[in-house]
Structure 1
Amino acid sequence: MNGHITVGVDGSPAASNAVRWAADEAVRRDLALRIVHVAGVYAYDIPLRQAVAVYESLEDYSASVLREAEALARRRQPFLPVDTVLRKGVVAEVLRAEAEDAVALVLGSRGYGRFSRGRIGSVSAALAGHAPCPVVVVHDLPVRERGEIAVGFDECSAAALRFAFAEADRRGARLRAVHAWQPPAISPFVLGADPIFDELFEAARHRAVLVLQRWRDRHPRVRVIEQIVPGGAVEAICRASAAADLVVVGSRGRGPLSSALLGSVSRGVLHGSRCPVAVVRPMAAAIGSAA
């Protein structure tokens, strides 16, 4: 056993789902599980004037969060090596530092903070674009395994494809590779009704097939379903998520951690996916697919 998966917890239902997913993934990869909770008034958006009054209770709460998360992981996977870590500081910054030596960072889609009412919390969005390893954001878990991984890709998606093919190979799952081709911005053409449109679409399909071939050669055991369609990438990938155990997308996020910068496709999939989403930056792909 070499390495670990890190999961961030805050006591929320979404974090509990993240622990379940991370425990299962750690067993699949023969890794340990590290559960991290960030304690402090900043973690819960509590005004400074209340800090002294609540600090002791936050310490107690933090300890209980870690105990419950560890117990959940051990119930889920009784033989999984688990350790817990309590940190203080700004949540996104602390978890990013914890991700430096992790194979993957797993987070709930939203927590208990003031900015967590949307489908994706601010911490998850920030880390998905900037963590040094692949980040898996867990919504509701599928009731049963479907045996399928979905990946959105284009000519610049080597990181996402590397991760997705390795994950499908590891699980013995089929891989649905989704490439959405956007037709010209101003076009009266309809697929199947105009030769020029059909030629453009066929050229796009051919390029996508060539992109996939490199990864097919590396993972001959993986059954690949090519899904090359005209239209928007977010809509196509989110439709594929309905039959998948995991969706994989790339990220070209740049800028400071506080900017929470994600590409429009990654952000759209995080908000619309019906299963957990792995966001893979180029520098993170080799880490996440190596174990």
Structure 2
Amino acid sequence: MMAGPIVVGLDGSKPSDAAVEWAAADGRRRRLPLKIVHVCERWPKGFDSRKYCLGTLEAAADRARAVGKEVEVTTELLEGNVVELLIGQSASADSLVLGSRGSGGFAGLMLGSVGLGVAGHAAGPVVIVRAPAVVEQGQVVVGDDGSEAAREAVAYAIEQARARHARLLAVYAWQAPIVSAYAPDYGNLLEDSFQEEARTARERVIRWREDHPDLEIADRQVREHPVPALIKASGTADLVVVGSRGLGGFASAVLGSVSHGVLHRSHCPVAVVRPRGKRS
């Protein structure tokens, strides 16, 4: 991961407040500075929108310092296109954290619009937070398929799990290819294919365990579509990490399919990780 600040987008909504708290706690765990940015809308004449926005930023900074304790917190007030500005911020950030829905400066922030737009084009990890954590589960879940994006996702998930003193669970979900049921030995062919893919996935996990002996790493290989497999795992996770695109078991993992589905339905915050230099 990049050694820049964690950047959190603020608009004053409850999800963005939860994002500020999540980002401050992440900064405390990983010993990174926090930068809170607020894109200020232009209000009707006679109303000092800048004063209101600065007040919103100040209140968020106070909340972040209370959660992050020793975390260095800075703020920045911006004007312009929300998506473009946030994507620009991501270029020098360790990660970008957003609430799942927004108001005010993030007037369109709901999954499928600004949130998905940023997650689909940011230069690094984008974490979407729906609500404050009530109970810590002690587990980080990562979706793995061996692709470049998945490798970046695993690296981020390992860093998160270590900082949280949590277990890492790597989920490989294999969706059977479309083959005629009348093909000779149909059932055995599918089972053999799954077993081969699962073996390769387990070998990746063995290497991670060797490289990170201090970390508890569990693995799960299932014959299931990736979205429901990851949603199930999110029920006992503090964070789910997915690559921005995938192949093999995550053949359709572009925002709008697997990442889109996980963002919409996860029970915990979701990090979408794009390899640096792979903005699209």
| TM above 0.5 | yes
Q: Which amino acid aligns with 2:265?
A: G
Q: Which deviates further from its counterpart, 65-74 or 13-22?
A: 65-74
| Partner-residue secondary structure (3-state), 2:132 | coil
What CA distance in whole angstroms lies between the structure 2 residues aligned with 1:32 and 1:194? Answer: 53
Matched, 1:276 2:269: yes
Matched, 1:213 2:243: no
2:216 corresponds in structure 1 to 223
Cα shift at 1:28: 0.8
CA contact (8 A) 1:140 1:274 kept: no
1:53 corresponds in structure 2 to 45
Cα shift at 1:196: 3.6
Q: Which amino acid aligns with 1:65?
A: T
**Superimposed CA distance per residue, residues 187-228 of structure 1 (whole angstroms, 9 cap, x where no aligned partner):** 659xxx954433222112112112323322221222122111
Across the two proteins, how many residue pairs are aligned to each other? Answer: 262
2:67 corresponds in structure 1 to 76
CA contact (8 A) 2:205 2:217 kept: no
CA contact (8 A) 1:109 1:121 kept: no
What CA distance in whole angstroms lies between the structure 2 residues aligned with 1:38 and 1:114? Answer: 10
| Partner-residue secondary structure (3-state), 1:283 | coil
Taking the TM superposition and a 5 Å limit, the aligned residue runs for 1:172-211 are: 172-186=165-179, 188=181, 194-211=187-204
What CA distance in whole angstroms lies between the structure 2 residues aligned with 1:276 and 1:141? Answer: 9
CA contact (8 A) 1:110 1:121 kept: no
Counterparts in 2 of 1:229 and 1:249: CA distance versus 1, 3 Å? same
What is the TM-score normalised by the length of structure 2? 0.86
**Superimposed CA distance per residue, residues 113-160 of structure 1 (whole angstroms, 9 cap, x where no aligned partner):** 5534x5x26221111111112111111233121110001110212111
Matched, 1:244 2:245: no
| Partner-residue secondary structure (3-state), 1:53 | coil
CA contact (8 A) 1:148 1:244 kept: yes
What CA distance in whole angstroms lies between the structure 1 residues aligned with 2:256 and 2:202? Answer: 23
Which runs of no fewer than 5 residues in structure 1 stay unpaired? 42-50, 254-260, 286-291
Q: Which amino acid aligns with 1:58?
A: S
What CA distance in whole angstroms lies between the structure 2 residues aligned with 1:68 and 1:52? Answer: 23
Q: Which amino acid aligns with 2:233?
A: A
1:100 corresponds in structure 2 to 91
**Superimposed CA distance per residue, residues 5-60 of structure 1 (whole angstroms, 9 cap, x where no aligned partner):** 1111000000000000000000111111111001133xxxxxxxxx6526x43223
How well do the aligned residues superpose, as a CA RMSD in angstroms? 2.3
Aligned-pair identity in percent equals: 42
